[in-house]
Amino acid sequence: MNQKIIYFPKDGQPTIIANEWQVWDGERDEGGIPDLEHGLHKVLVPFHWWITHYKNADIIERANRGEIGVWFAADDDILKHADLIEEGKKLWPVVGAHFPIFRDGRSFSTATLLRDRFEWQGEVRAIGDVLIDQLLQGARVGFDAFELRPDQNLDVALKQFDLFSVVTQNSWRDQRATTAA
């Protein structure tokens, strides 16, 4: 995992901050979610895992402490689970959307739907194969946090957000410039 993330709130500036969330793939740690006492205290669990485990008492307890968020795989059809996600609004401080490979753009639509359809107000974090040159698109569709692949240069990444001062379609962050002209 990357020790640092880029955090770029909707009405703020992009900054580099410490990463407080570990992403768990749902596979290792057979007994359940990773040991929160010895690792990071907060964990993003796969949404498909959440679906089958969210009624467990220990999970509820940790979720109530704000230590659990979920991440959506690129092929999760989040519209099929609207009720769970509505409930999750009160529970998850952070949700992630995963890029299995940088050129898979499904999570751009996932983020759009989270913001637009679910009116998700909390953090939406890009995870997985997140590269410098996806940041601009991600920021516009609804991501406000980016855990980049560890080999990416965060200083170069941070400069991306200044590249464009105009856009020609509406998105979560901005209205198209062409209506103002």
Partner 1 sequence: MYKYDHIDQTLVDQRVIQFRDQVERRLNGTLAEEEFRPLRLQNGLYHQRHAYMLRVAIPYGLLSAEQLRTLALIADKYDRGYGHFTTRQNIQFNWVELEQTPDILAELAKVEMHAIQTSGNCIRNITSDAFAGVAADEYIDPRPVCELLRQWSTLHPEFAHLPRKFKFAINGAKEDRTVLLCHDVGIELKKNPAINNGELTADIYAGGGMGRTPILGSLIKQGLPWQVLPSYLTALLRVYNRFGRRDNLYKARIKILVKALGPEEFARQVEGEWAQLHNEAKQSKDNFTQAEWERVAKHFTKPAYQKLNTVSNEVILAATPETERAAFARWLDRNVKSHQIPGYASVILSLKPHGTVAPGDATSAQMNAIADLADQYSFGELRVTHEQNLVLADVEQTQLLHLWRAAKNNNLALPNIGLLTDIIACPGGDFCSLANAKSLPIAKAIQERFDDLDYLFDLGDISLNISGCINSCGHHHVGNIGVLGVDKDGEEWYQITLGGEQGNDASIGKVIGPSFYANEIPDVMTSLINTYVEQRTGDEPFIETYRRLGVTPFKEVAYKNNGKHSKGALA
> Which residues bind to partner 1, rule: CB under 8 A?
77, 102-106, 108-109, 112, 116-117, 131-134, 136-138, 140-141, 153, 156, 163-171, 175-179, 181
CB closer to partner 1, 45 vs 139: 139
Contact 2, 149 (CB under 8 A): yes
**Residue whose CB is less far from partner 1, 15 or 153:** 153
Q: How far is the CB of 108 from partner 1 (least distance, A)?
A: 5
Q: How far is the CB of 139 from partner 1 (least distance, A)?
A: 8
Q: In terms of CB distance, is 15 or 178 closer to partner 1?
A: 178
Q: Looking at beta carbons only, is 65 or 176 nearer to partner 1?
A: 176
Q: How far is the CB of 81 from partner 1 (least distance, A)?
A: 14
25/116 with CB nearer partner 1: 116
* Nearer residue to partner 1 within complex by CB, 40 or 104: 104
Q: To the nearest whole angstrom, how small is the minimum distance from the Cβ of residue 23 to partner 1?
A: 21
For the bound state, the minimum distance from the C-beta of residue 103 to partner 1, rounded and expressed in Å, comes to 5
**CA-based nearest residue to 76, from 109, 102, 52, 54:** 109
Cα–Cα distance measured from residue 131 to residue 176, given in angstroms and rounded to the nearest whole number? 25
In the complex, what is the shortest distance from the CB of residue 17 to partner 1, in angstroms, rounded to a whole number? Answer: 23
Annotate the chain with three-state secondary structure.
CCCEEEECCCCCCCEEEECCEEECCCCCCCCCCCCCCCCCCEEEEEHHHHHHHCCCHHHHHHHHCCCEEEEECCCCCHHHHHHHHHHHHHHCCEEEEEECCCCCCHHHHHHHHHHHCCCCCCEEEEEECCCHHHHHHHHHHCCCEECCCCCCCHHHHHHHHHCCCCCCCCCCCCCCHHHCC
